[in-house]
Structure 1
Amino acid sequence: MLNDRPSALGGTYADPTSATARIQFRRALTLAAMTLVMPGSAQLVQGNRRVGRIAIRVWLTVLALAAVFVLFALMDRQFVFGLATNATLLTLGRWVLVALALGWISLIVDAWRLGRPRELARPHLAISTVLHGALVVGTAAVLFFAAHTVSVMNGFTDTVFASTTVSKPHDGRYNVLLMGTDSGQDRSGMRPDSINVASIDADTGKAVLIGLPRNLENVPFPKGSPLRKQFPNGFDCDGCYLNAVNTWANDHADLFTTKEPGIDATMGAVEEITGLKLNYYALVNMKGFSRLIDAVGGVEINVRERTAIGGIGSPIRGYIEAGEQQLSGDKALWYARSRVENDDWSRMGRQKCVMNAMVRQLNPQKVLMNMQDIANSSSAMLHTSIPRQDLNVFMDLALKTKSQPISSVSLVPPVIYTGNPDYDKVRRLVSDAVGSSQRNAELQKAALVTAKLPLIEAGGETQKKDPRKANRSADLNETC
Structure 2
Amino acid sequence: MAAADREFSPASSIALTVGSALLWGVAHLATGRRRIGLTLLGSYALLVATILSMVTLVGSDLLTLAVQPGWLTALTFMLLAIAAAWTVVIVWSYVLVRPDSSHPGRRIATIVAAVLCGLVVVPTVYAARLASVSRDVVTSLFTPSSAPIIADDPWNGRPRVNFLLVGADSAPSRPGVRTDSMTVASVDVATGATTLLGLPRNLQNVPMPPGPARQRFPSGFTGEPPYTPGLLNEVFQYAEDYPEVVPGVRKGYRGPTLLKETVGGILGIRIHHYAMVDMAGFAQIIDAMGGVRITIKDPIVYGKYREGLLPSGTRKLSGEQALWYGRSRTDSDDYVRMGRQKCLLNAVAKQADPMTVLNSFESLANATKRAISTDLPQNLLPAMVELAQKIKDTRIRSLNFVPPLISTAYPDYEFIKRKVEQTLADRPVNKTATAPGSRPQSTPQQSPERPLTLDEACA
Does the aligned pair in 2 maintain the 1:24–1:120 contact within 8 Å?
no
Q: 1:110-149 CA distances to partner (integer Å, 9 max, x unpaired)?
A: 2222323217852x43442332221111111111101111
Following the alignment from structure 1 to structure 2, what is the Cα–Cα distance between the partners of residues 147 and 275?
46
Long gaps (5+) in structure 1: 1-19, 438-456, 465-474
Moved more, 401-410 or 207-216: 401-410
Which SS does the other structure have where 2:177 is aligned? coil
Aligned residues: 423
Q: CA deviation at 1:88?
A: 2.3
Give the letter aligned to residue 179 of structure 1.
V
1:449-472 Cα deviation digits (max 9, x unpaired): xxxxxxxx95562689xxxxxxxx
> Match for residue 27 of structure 2?
42
> TM-score of the superposition, structure 1-length normalised?
0.81
Q: Over residues 289-322 of structure 1, what are the superposed CA-to-partner deviations in whole Å (9 max), with x where a residue is unaligned?
A: 11111111111111121111113xxx11101111
Change (3 A) 1:187 1:294: same
The answer on 1:154 being equivalent to 2:154 is no
Q: CA deviation at 1:476?
A: 11
Superposed counterparts of 1:160-309, under 5 Å: 160-164=141-145, 168=155, 171-223=158-210, 225-236=211-222, 238=225, 239-255=229-245, 256-259=247-250, 260-309=253-302
Q: Contact 2:10–2:98 at 8 Å: present in 1 too?
A: no
- Separation (CA, whole Å) in 1 of partners of 2:32 and 2:91: 12
Which residue is equivalent to 1:367?
A: 357
8 A Cα contact 1:177 1:280, kept in partner:
yes
Unaligned runs of 5+ residues in structure 2 are: 1-5, 428-445
1: distance between equivalents of 2:452 and 2:356? 36
Partner of residue 66, structure 2: 84
Identity %: 32
Query: Structure 2 vs 1, CA of residues 476 and 402 (structure 1 numbering), >3 Å: closer, same or farther?
Result: closer
Q: Which amino acid aligns with 1:190?
A: V
Residue in structure 1 matched with residue 93 of structure 2 by the alignment:
111
Question: What amino acid does structure 2 have at the position aligned with 1:56?
Answer: L
1:341: Cα distance to partner? 1.9
Mapped partners of 1:45, 1:95: distance in 2: 32
Q: Specify the alignment match of 1:339 in structure 2.
A: 329
Instruction: Name the amino acid aligned to 2:167.
Output: G
In 2, distance between residues paired with 1:47 and 1:151? 41
Give 1:42 deviation, angstroms. Answer: 2.7
Whole-angstrom distance in 2 between the partners of 1:54 and 1:173: 54
Q: 1:366, 1:92 → 2: CA distance?
A: 25
TM-score (norm 2): 0.85
Residue 170 of structure 1: how far off its partner (Å): 6.7
The farther-off stretch of 348-357 and 428-437 is: 428-437
Q: CA RMSD in A?
A: 2.7
Check conservation: 1:217, 1:235, Cα contact below 8 A.
Answer: yes
The corresponding residue for 2:3 is none
How far is 1:198 from its partner?
1.0
| Deviation of the 1:66 alpha carbon | 2.1
After superposition, the Cα gap between the structure-2 partners of 1:251 and 1:170, relative to the gap in structure 1 and judged at 3 Å, is: farther
Q: SS state of the match for residue 112, structure 2? A: helix
Contact 1:307–1:321 (Cα < 8 Å) also in 2: yes
Find the aligned partners of 1:53 and 1:206 in 2 and give their Cα distance: 54
TM superposition shift of 1:253: 0.4
Distance, in Å, in 2 between the alignment partners of 1:29 and 1:45 is 13
Give the 3 Å change call, closer, same or farther, for CA 49–90 of structure 1 in structure 2: farther
Residue 249 of structure 1: CA displacement? 1.5
Q: Which amino acid aligns with 1:298?
A: G
Aligned residue identity for 2:315: Q
Determine the C-alpha separation between the residues in 1 that align with 2:10 and 2:66: 43
Q: Kindly state the Cα deviation for residue 50 of structure 1 after the two structures are TM-superposed.
A: 4.8
In structure 2, the partner of 1:440 is none
- Contact 1:415 / 1:458 at 8 angstroms: preserved in 2? no
2:450 corresponds in structure 1 to 461
> Which of 62, 66, 82 is matched with 1:100 structurally?
82
Out of 5, 11, 30, the residue aligned to residue 15 of structure 2 is 30
Matched position secondary structure for 1:419: coil
Q: Report how far residue 436 of structure 1 moved.
A: 3.2
For residues 458 and 109 of structure 1, what CA distance do their matches in structure 2 show? 76
